[in-house]
Structure 1
Amino acid sequence: MEISKEELLYKLNVRQRTTLMDTLHISYTDVGPDYLVAEMPVSPAVHQPYGVLHGGATAALAESVGSAASALFIDHNSQEVYGIEISCNHLRSVSSGMVIATAKAIHIGRSIHLWEILVKDTNGKLISHCKLTNMVVSKRN
């Protein structure tokens, strides 16, 4: 049975309740066959001391969207997915508004997934360029 895009986004957003993603107000907004989009509001709650978006919050957004995207490609009855490496190049600062992260698949293998995540502001300006490697493992008993 095929699940609708709306239902899938709803399930992704419900699944993150009471997690870091909920704390950061990350929400999933679009999904396709090889991508997932999430957004996060930028406010003082995610600022670093100079009043701009903290790189760690950006990395958390990138890892969240990339990991959730990998979860769309696994068998949840027998597999789990874990981020094993993330790199982020922070190119521009932002102090308010919303940032939008788009994870696009570079490689979807049996045990390794590689994602490119572009984090942009609402004007489409690139804020951070990130890369996430996820490992797919057998579920622990």
Structure 2
Amino acid sequence: MTEVLFYHLTERTLEQTLPGLLEKSLERGWRAVVQAGSKERVEALDSLLWTWRDDAFLAHSAADDAYAKYQPVFLTTDDENPNGAAIRFLVDGAVAHSLEGYERGVYLFDGHDAAAIEQARECWKAEKENGHDITYWQQKPGGSWERKA
């Protein structure tokens, strides 16, 4: 059974939140896939991960990269998992067709976007029906997380 987490972004943006979550995943020894809702978002995340901190970057690749299987983070709009990731992040409206085979699935959604909230509710229902262990986390002021459900 895959553990599925829903992160309700209320205090910080995806761009401020995702790199830290990826870094923590890599510290656990997990490779990661980030599935975005659009090619444009993948391109934006590709740029972000190279420059997200002055003293660090997150090594990664995106679709059509011949070396994707060697990278700790892979960015895509599809269901592919060429790097054998243990964790899958779903952002910007992306929906997993299946999270089977992953240790963890993570939906990040904008708490200021009514459509994103509604979509997260639908994904919650679907993942619950799939029998996954689900938790819901909401950002607190300052960016830390509080488990709500």
The structure, 1 or 2, with the larger RCO (C-alpha pairs under 8 Å, 6+ apart) is 2
* Interval of TM-score (by shorter of Structure 1 and Structure 2): under 0.3
The structure carrying a bigger helix percent of its residues is: 2
Structure with higher strand content: 1
